[in-house]
Amino acid sequence: MVDRLRALRDALAERPGDPVPFDVLAARVWPAEPPKHPRAALRTLVSRLRATEQVITEPTGYRLVPRPPAPCQLPADLPDFVGREEELARLELLDAPVRAITGLPGVGKTALAIREAHRLRGRFPDGQLYVDLRGFSTGPSTTVEQAQARFVKALGGGPDDDYRELLRGRRVLVVLDNATAEVIAPLLPATPGCAALVTSRQDLPQFAQVKIGVLAEREARELLEGMRVEGDTGELVRLCARLPLALRIAGANLAGRHLPDYVAELREHRLEALEIEEDDTAVRAAFDLSYRKLSSRARRTFDFLGAVPGPDVPPGLAGPAVDDLVAANLVQRTGDRYQLHDLLRLYADERATAADRRAVFDWYLRHADGAEARLRAGFTRLLPPVPEPVEFADRAEAMTWFEAERQNLVALAVERPDASLVAAMRPFLLLTGQYADLRTIAQAALDAGETGQRAAAVRVCLALLDWRAGEHRRAVEHSERAIAGFRAAGAQAQEATALNTLAGIRHDLGELDRARDHLAAAIELYGPNGMRAQLIGGLANLGLVDLELGGLSSAEEMLRRSVELARETDDWQHLANGLNNLGVVLAAQHRHADSESAFTEAVLLAQRHGLRPVEMSARVEYAELLLAAGRREEAREQAGRALELAGDDDLFIEVDACLVLAEVNRSVAEYDEVLRRAVDAGFRIIEVRALAGKAALTQDDALYAKAVERAESAGLRYRADVVRRLRSGT
């Protein structure tokens, strides 16, 4: 059938505008064996041909109405077009007469549409129409009437011809670029066989839609290479946020310029540097056009979002017109949260007011303070509650909120340093082992000039972090200044917290008598202030100190009391920590089964409640027990997992885990590395254990003697006894 239709059209086209006799047409269509009723067969073929051609019946035959040459109004395809393979594939799969390409300003919608239109030209032999509707332009937009007149002229019609009538029977592709929703419908072809491609900054869910995002890293670099930008373009790509418009402006600006100089300019004045002065092309200008199209309410919401400093915006803070911004492709919705492209975030930040920033800060502080109050993790509140904190139903809801908002909270606490925000975030960040975040915001608050009890609250955080990082001198200084600050403010509960932290530092330094004094002073303050959770933690720490002083019975008594109190109050953090410490004491008494039970429960509790620091410590201590029991591969597994959890945040755990692995591997070189790091960091207990382990491996009496001397000089009586037993083989 297709061949006969083609033969019929060819015969008519040889005499365009003139009737071709019926018998001539029949002979051309059926040259070998004509049908029994050729005219009836011709009528059937002509009715099929009229789906795509204009054929007139004359008394003597059929006449083909000639058409003007097929118009092609498409702009030239970009020679340096890169990427978009996935988007082109998605467009290819769409089976719809109207396909829309949408996305944020400058993302490359037009370039993709032109590439797709050129690819489709063969499917639409009767022409490709194109109009820039200028829906987001500083000048007047193209009206529907202007666009239709342009199309009619291209199709060979006159002023009185109807656009859609001229499309009848043709296969034409119509490209509507930079369209707004209200002008699209009158310009769409209504004829089968025609199709339309639409680009818009607005969401167009009524059509088969492909939303496009920024380029992939590889594609962005490829685009710059095509523009002859030489050198390492990694930071340039990041600063342009992989937005095609920004990349093209940067590439044009780099003609004859030094790449590092332009990158330095971008770092300081990103939106200003992303413009081409001579032709008014600029990222900011592109954003302005979309912003002007918004309602006043949507503009106000957009400005407010600029005050949110993190990567996304929670629904409770998004504002009343955020859905309008999503529809305008200025904001993207991900789940129940909202995001702005990096450069749009900068643009919105410029528009945010001081009142916007204060409102965002207050919202986060009230939520963080309310969430902190619900954690019930045994932490002392370092500062008074803020006015009107937001209430959370339970601990799980508070933890979930902190997890969702952590990045925004950290960004806010850096942008607007504040001791109250640090204090509110402290329990969550410590429980989950987010030490780097806590250090960042605490140091920012201290640098901002906090004084009195507020400075003391920040110093408690920094003391703990410096202690875990092996910076003992700074940790002691922060602790002592925090104790003095709390004492001057009459904040006894907070002073006890600082004393407890200082005790832990003294313990790891091997200064056990001083550690015990600090703990005793802290415990004396816990009772009058009703600090039961802190009392539980103090008893657990005192048990460890008594262990190192050689009082195993006293240590076990303290720890069992701590564990019992923690169970009574469902204090999971102190229960897990107390079980870990109890496991250490039971292992020292060679009660391996009881010790393993304590470690196993501690690890499970820590995992269940997200207590990363406790889990790290418990795994290291459990590995020591397994090693003593001859279960070397299990010990390796536990120590390796602790090392993974420690990452770069906890030097003490890292070195401690490496010591266990040195014992597992029976490696002198690994012992030497652990010794070097322990001495550098001042980890006296680890140093003594490493000396003893290396001495046992090498049977070096001098090392045994050195281990005993180092233990006794630090008052580590239990460690000294262990070394002596190792040396004697008992």
The pLDDT mean for the chain works out to 88
Residue 622 within a domain: yes
Same-domain status, 147 and 169? yes
CATH code of the domain containing 565? 1.25.40.10
**Given this model, what pLDDT does residue 100 score?**
95
Residue 281 within a domain: yes
**Given this model, what pLDDT does residue 280 score?**
60
Same-domain status, 368 and 436? yes
How buried is residue 269: exposed, middle or buried, by Cβ count under 10 Å (0-12/13-18/19+)?
exposed
pLDDT at 81 over 70: yes
What's the average model confidence in pLDDT over 101-118?
91
In one-letter notation, the amino acid at residue 587 is A
Same-domain status, 93 and 151? yes
Q: Please answer whether residues 606 and 579 qualify as being in contact, where contact means their C-beta atoms are separated by less than 8 angstroms.
A: no
**Given this model, what pLDDT does residue 2 score?**
62
Residue 15 within a domain: yes
For the chain, what percentages of helix, strand and coil (3-state, to nearest 5) are there?
Answer: 65, 5, 30
CATH code of the domain containing 191? 3.40.50.300
Going by C-beta distance under 8 Å and a sequence separation of 6 or more, which residues neighbour residue 497? 379, 380, 382, 460, 522, 534
Decide: helix, strand or coil at residue 426. Answer: helix
Residue that terminates a domain, selected from 352, 385, 400: 352
Count of structural domains within the chain: 7
The more confidently predicted of residues 313 and 508 is 313
Distances 5 to 24, 159, 392 between C-alpha atoms, Å: 15, 33, 74
d(CA 58, CA 325): 59
**Given this model, what pLDDT does residue 376 score?**
66
How buried is residue 543: exposed, middle or buried, by Cβ count under 10 Å (0-12/13-18/19+)?
buried
Starting from the edge strand earliest in sequence, which strands make up the sheet with 19-21, in order? 19-21, 61-64, 55-57
- The widest CA-to-CA distance across the chain, in whole angstroms, is 125
Residue 514 within a domain: no
Same-domain status, 557 and 656? yes
**Out of 165-179, 375-389, 403-417, 459-473, least confident range:** 375-389
d(CA 47, CA 51): 7
* pLDDT tens by residue, 229-266: 888 888 999 998 888 888 888 887 887 678 888 888 88
Same-domain status, 98 and 207? yes
Residue among 328, 336, 270, 335 nearest 301 (CA): 328
Residue 472 within a domain: no
**Given this model, what pLDDT does residue 399 score?**
92
**Given this model, what pLDDT does residue 498 score?**
95
d(CA 287, CA 458): 41
The more confidently predicted of residues 369 and 523 is 369
Distances 642 to 47, 465, 639, 652 between C-alpha atoms, Å: 79, 18, 5, 11
Same-domain status, 429 and 546? no
Report residue 130: phi and psi, to 5°.
Answer: -145, 140
Band (586; pLDDT cuts 50, 70, 90): very high
pLDDT at 273 over 60: yes
Residue 524 within a domain: no
Band (714; pLDDT cuts 50, 70, 90): confident
Q: Please answer whether residues 716 and 684 qualify as being in contact, where contact means their C-beta atoms are separated by less than 8 angstroms.
A: yes
pLDDT at 277 over 80: no
Distance of CA 6 to the CA centre of its chain: 58
Same-domain status, 374 and 439? yes
d(CA 432, CA 375): 12
d(CA 688, CA 512): 14
pLDDT at 34 over 70: yes
d(CA 671, CA 294): 66
What's the average model confidence in pLDDT over 464-470?
88
pLDDT at 666 over 60: yes
**Out of 394-408, 430-444, 516-530, least confident range:** 516-530
**Given this model, what pLDDT does residue 268 score?**
86
How many CA within 13 A on the CB side of residue 303? Answer: 15
DSSP 8-class letter at 109: H
d(CA 542, CA 524): 13
Its sign, for the CA torsion 469, 473, 479, 481, is negative
Q: Which of 74-78, 450-454, 526-530 has the highest mean pLDDT?
A: 450-454
Same-domain status, 233 and 193? no
d(CA 695, CA 704): 6
Same-domain status, 134 and 89? yes
Q: Which ranges of 510-650 does DSSP label H, i.e. alpha helix?
A: 512-526, 532-548, 552-568, 572-588, 592-608, 612-628, 632-646
Residue 444 within a domain: yes
At how many degrees (to 10) do helices 592-608 and 612-628 cross? 160
What's the average model confidence in pLDDT over 353-372?
95
Same-domain status, 559 and 628? yes
The domain in which residue 131 lies consists of 85-211
Q: Please answer whether residues 215 and 242 qualify as being in contact, where contact means their C-beta atoms are separated by less than 8 angstroms.
A: yes
DSSP 8-class letter at 186: G
Residue 505 within a domain: no
Same-domain status, 537 and 658? yes
d(CA 350, CA 309): 12
Q: Please answer whether residues 169 and 51 qualify as being in contact, where contact means their C-beta atoms are separated by less than 8 angstroms.
A: yes
d(CA 174, CA 154): 12
Q: Please answer whether residues 106 and 243 qualify as being in contact, where contact means their C-beta atoms are separated by less than 8 angstroms.
A: yes
Q: Please answer whether residues 110 and 76 qualify as being in contact, where contact means their C-beta atoms are separated by less than 8 angstroms.
A: no
Share of the chain above pLDDT 70, in %: 97
Residue that terminates a domain, selected from 286, 307, 327: 286
pLDDT at 116 over 90: yes
Share of the chain above pLDDT 90, in %: 46
What's the average model confidence in pLDDT over 353-381?
90
What's the average model confidence in pLDDT over 324-329?
87
d(CA 483, CA 518): 11
CATH code of the domain containing 11? 1.10.10.10
Report residue 729: phi and psi, to 5°.
Answer: 80, 20
**Given this model, what pLDDT does residue 368 score?**
96
What's the average model confidence in pLDDT over 451-457?
96
pLDDT at 132 over 70: yes
**Given this model, what pLDDT does residue 168 score?**
85
Band (67; pLDDT cuts 50, 70, 90): low
What's the average model confidence in pLDDT over 682-700?
90
* pLDDT tens by residue, 208-237: 999 999 889 999 998 888 888 888 888 999
Residue that terminates a domain, selected from 450, 477, 507: 450
Same-domain status, 573 and 657? yes
